[in-house]
Amino acid sequence: GYFTLNQTGAIGITTTGAPVPSITETGALPPGLTFTDEANGSALIQGTPPALGTTTLTIIRMMFMGREPSTRE
């Protein structure tokens, strides 16, 4: 998705799964933008960017099945 300089915008992120996944982001959002996990399998990046530029973000979907996630099974 993209945003337009000095105009309010939003990008929705949707996941599926049971239990409902949480969504997190890593990386610095540009000034004027916020990230919100809606706690229902969706998240929203929204706001008004005051400057031109590009940003790289990592979006992570996590599901907890009654225990902490592990890198080994």
Render pLDDT for 13-72 as a digit per residue (tens, 0 to 9). Answer: 998 888 888 899 988 888 999 999 999 999 999 999 999 988 888 888 887 765 544 434
Ramachandran class of 31: left when φ > 0, alpha when ψ lies in -120 to 50, beta otherwise: beta
- Looking at residue 71, its pLDDT comes to 39
8 A C-beta contact, residue 43 and residue 35: yes
- Looking at residue 54, its pLDDT comes to 85
Read off the pTM. Answer: 0.77
8 A C-beta contact, residue 19 and residue 65: yes
Mean predicted confidence (pLDDT) in 4-12: 94
- Looking at residue 70, its pLDDT comes to 41
